[in-house]
Chains A and B, each alone.
Chain A
Amino acid sequence: MNALIPAFDFTQVIVDPWTGNLAASAWVVLMGALVGTACGIVGNYLLLRRMALVGDAISHSILPGLVIVFLIFRHVSTPLMFLGAIGAGLITVGIIEFIHRQTRVKADAATCIAFTSLFALGVVMLSVAETSGPIHLDAECVLYGEIAFVPLEPPVMFGGHELGPPSVIRMAGVTLVLIVLVTVFYKELLLTSFDPALARSMGLKTGFWHYALMAALSIVVVSSFEAVGAILAVAMLIVPAMFASQLTFHLPTRFVLTAAHAVVSSLAGFHLAIWLGCSTAAAMVVVGAILFLAAWGLTSIKRKPRLFEGTDQNSAVFDPVQGLVPKTNPE
């Protein structure tokens, strides 16, 4: 066990990354924070819609989408990558809905069937494609993702200046666009997530917003992929959002907490990975999970929030205008 967990050396773990190799450390932590924020924002909506595991499904089924795009166009650029991801994501959601609307197979089984089949298809397509030409690659990179390789990418040049690693730039762009979209369409997303019936009665197209969210999910996941891999992307979707919703009901506050969670877990995970010598992305998720556990413990110790101070829930009545109000004693 002593060999497994190395001794904690403060200088080596905490100081060195920021003195010796500042730029690399900064890019890694920034990427982790961006991935956590972007995934977390989408994750908040997934959580509200009880679709957390659809995120899992889409993150797996993007694989055949990417392979097909690559086989058709023979090269990959960001738009093509997004195209493949959105296509795969929407097809997955479509298959899930087809199976569980048309037959008696329930939605959970349909989800499982759709994404495992598509993922298997992707793996088989890859290995068939591979017979016609060897692919020399690092075997473990994608399963776990390798965020530590981000600083090694040749940087994007803009007007003679080095801007930064392309995956970080792309992730930053995606995060920014996502934040803008969520701000602009805040009301629509809120209504369709919380009360689809009301949203429909107000003339909103719930179907459109559902598929728009799935498209956003696909893009966020595919951009996070290089850094965190398929399965840990699921963690980035769910864990920050769970942490935030454990602490507050208020949606905008949740977004802020999500971002905070992303930054803290990215930074702490980065140092944890250096200390233990393990996968950086996985360490970030572990820290994120620990943060959720802490929030869970904190809210359990705290007195359960009551509807009305000094009363119990049975003394509230429903008023059609004001909602729940304290029951007045008939005297």
Chain B
Amino acid sequence: MGFPRSQKTWSLLTVFGWLSFAPLAQAARISDITEADLLDRTLRFFSFSDPSLRYALVGSMLLGIACGLMGTFLVVRKLALMSDALSHAVLPGVAIGFLWSMTKNPLAIFIGATVAGLLGAATAQAITSTTKHKEDAALGFVLAGFFAVGVCLLTMIQNLPGGNKSGLDKFMFGQAAAMGREDVLLLSGVVLVCAAAIGIFYKEFLVTSFDPAFARSSGLKVQIFHYALILMLAFAIVASLQAVGVVLVAAMLVIPASAAFLLTDRLPAMLALAAVFGMLSGALGAFFSFVGRNLPTGPVMVLTASAVFTLALFLAPRHGILAKWWRHRTRTRRVQRENTLKAIYRVLEDEGFRSESVSLRELAEHRRETLEHSEAAIKTLEHHGFATREGADFTLTPAGWKRACEIVRNHRLWELYLNHAANIPADHVHDEAEEIEHILGEENVRQLEKRLNYARRDPHGKLIPGLEDIHGAGARFLSGHAVGFGPPRQ
């Protein structure tokens, strides 16, 4: 593969523009070894002999923890895009922090960037509260406007004589390899502050995040905790800039926390999971970009986090897509089974419960479907032990009979209830009953029966199977009577 430099079509310049990401990315990898083979580099990684590698690894992991902790609150407060806006808004602060000391002093840049971030948050707040612009526009304005000021300042700094300007452009994509002792110390400080604040004011953060109205009514200053959170967020963003850069900090904040959000419903567990995912992504990002050839750390870190998120997205036990799909599938199948049982009951009822068995043809005619469809439906019933089959005829088992009675009862009770209690005409109640019959539990049925004064007939004049019919059938079967399921008693 190679990019044809000979090609002179001017439109290529667009892509060339894009490709100019590459030199930045190239500078951002941790290791410059290109010749050593994969195993060698893996061994070198795990020997931790390289001091710059040690700093990069520890720094990336700390960054993951800080971002995971703060990201959790962003995700539950629906502030994810705030992180994107803030991470861009700190850029002018970076430039001013640099101008202050004329070197890449981490502390000066940290202070400058934090102030710029807070200013950005305040501007967004002011725009949403005094104009008709919504939050998305306000955040977009802060993101782009502050970023433009930052770019102006940075390009002006490039023209300045003197000063150690190298590495200032690394704030775009970050360079984990450039992390030094000060950066790691700064990051550990941020992690400590965030963890301590969350630990001490856990209850306050919890209640202001999930129920601000309740928090206000119980005398908490909701705004203070909001601003404290924004301040800590700014800390986390600024400390992470060095490693992942302005563009991708938001990813490290939101992605691990969202993965955790899919896996648990409890805030402490979510905080812990997000921190672990963040740390894992940091470590794996450092590892892959060290081992792989020419892989930039920040983007690799983000891709690792995305991989974790994708796994959680599909495999999470309760909120994952596969789990939801499976739940939906089992529910649909149960409803189908129950509808077949109901149809069989109706066939028996139409015959006046003269015989126990029903033929496939009768069922197919009743449901207005092909014989093949009916046969497939009966097979599933057999599989679940609801029916037995002899040739073209089949009979319900006691379990099948019981469930069929229940469904018919639920249906007719609900129709009666809608007709009586909600005054819905009798010819309008069927569709709703069709839905609710699969959901009604025994307790609800008891209440309905009581409320409807143990009525025996539904609005269409059909008999409603009662408790005795349902259980009586089983008893009759157990007692060895040949004749099984009779009509509901009058």
Question: Are A108 and B147 within 8 A (Cβ)?
Answer: no
Q: Which residues of B contact A105 (CB under 8 A)?
A: 75, 258, 261-262, 313
CA distance A138 to B261 in the complex (A): 41
Distance (whole angstroms) from the CB of A34 to the closest CB of chain B: 16
B95-136 contact mask (Cβ, 8 Å, vs A): 1 or 0: 000010000000000000000000000000001001111101
The 7 closest A-B pairs by CB, nearest first: A133-B2, A235-B144, A116-B251, A285-B148, A120-B299, A132-B1, A289-B145
Docked CA distance A278–B255 (Å): 35
B interface list, Cβ under 8 A from A: 1-5, 7, 9-26, 29, 74-75, 78-81, 83-84, 88, 99, 127, 130-134, 136-137, 139-141, 143-145, 147-149, 151-153, 155-157, 159-161, 169, 172-173, 247-248, 250-251, 254-255, 257-258, 261-262, 293-296, 298-300, 302-303, 306, 309, 313, 319-321, 324
Q: Which residues of A contact B262 (CB under 8 A)?
A: 103-105
12 A-B pairs besides A126-B22, A140-B169, A286-B152 with CB distance below 8 A are A1-B99, A52-B139, A77-B11, A105-B313, A106-B75, A129-B22, A137-B19, A154-B10, A231-B147, A238-B137, A238-B140, A276-B152
Q: Quick one: closest B residue to A125, CB to CB?
A: B299
Known contacts A116-B254, A235-B148; A111 and B81 CB within 8 A of each other? yes
A32 CA to B145 CA, complexed, in Å: 16
Known: A77-B9, A81-B11, A109-B254. A232 touches B147 (CB 8 A): yes
Cβ–Cβ < 8 Å partners of A67 in chain B = 18
Interface pairs (25), CB distance under 8 Å: A47-B137, A52-B137, A63-B21, A75-B9, A104-B261, A106-B78, A106-B80, A108-B79, A112-B84, A124-B296, A124-B300, A127-B294, A127-B299, A135-B23, A140-B169, A153-B10, A234-B143, A238-B137, A242-B137, A245-B133, A277-B155, A279-B155, A281-B148, A282-B148, A285-B144
Q: How far is it, in angstroms, between the C-alpha of A183 and the C-alpha of B319 when the chains are bound?
A: 44
Judge whether A52 and B300 touch: CB under 8 Å. Answer: no
A150 to chain B, nearest CB (A): 10
Q: Tell me which of A113, A120, A133, A138 contacts B1 (CB under 8 A).
A: A133
CB atoms of B3 and A135 under 8 A apart: yes
Check A126 against B18 for contact (C-beta < 8 Å): yes
Contact between chains at A279 and B151 (CB < 8 Å): yes
| Given contact pairs A103-B319, A112-B81, A127-B294, A232 touches B144 in the complex (Cβ within 8 A) | yes
Per-residue CB contact flags for chain A residues 235-248 toward chain B (1 = under 8 Å, else 0) read: 10111011001100
Q: Is the CB of B15 within 8 A of A242?
A: no
- Contact in complex: B254, A117 (CB < 8 Å): no
Q: B294 touches which one: A70, A128, A136, A226 (CB < 8 A)?
A: A128
Residues of chain A within 8 A of B23, CB atoms compared: 135, 137, 139
A1 and B159 CA atoms in complex are apart in Å by 13
Is the CB–CB distance between A112 and B313 below 8 Å? no
Q: Nearest chain-A residue to B148 (Cβ)?
A: A285
Contacting residues, chain B, for A55 (C-beta < 8 A): 140
Q: Encode A41-73 as 1/0 by CB contact (under 8 A) with B.
A: 000000100111101100010010011001100
Q: How far is the CA of A122 from the CA of B320 in the complex (A)?
A: 27
Are B17 and A225 touching (Cβ within 8 A)?
A: yes
Against B, the Cβ 8 Å flags (1 = close, 0 = not) of A65-106 are 011001100111110010000000000000000010011111
Q: Which of B4, B13, B140, B313 contacts A74 (CB 8 A)?
A: B4
Minimum CB–CB distance for A151 against chain B, Å: 13
Nearest CB in chain B: distance from A232 CB, A: 6
Q: Are A137 and B16 in contact (CB under 8 A)?
A: yes
- Please name all residues of chain B whose beta carbon is closer than 8 Å to the beta carbon of A325 when the two chains form the complex: none
Chain B residue numbers with a CB within 8 Å of A141 are 17, 20
Known contacts A119-B248, A121-B303, A235-B147; A70 and B15 CB within 8 A of each other: yes
Chain A residues, CB < 8 A from B257: 109
Q: Is the CB of B21 within 8 A of A142?
A: yes
Q: Report the separation of the CA atoms of residues A214 and B74 in the bound assembly, to the nearest whole angstrom.
A: 27
**Given contact pairs A103-B262, A104-B261, A282-B151, A76 touches B15 in the complex (Cβ within 8 A):** yes
Please, which residue of chain B has its CB at the minimum distance from the CB of A108?
B80
Whether A123 sits at the interface, judged by CB under 8 Å, is: yes
Q: In the assembled complex, which residues on chain B have CB atoms less than 8 Å from the CB atom of A239?
A: 141, 144-145
Are A282 and B22 in contact, with the CB atoms below 8 A? Answer: no
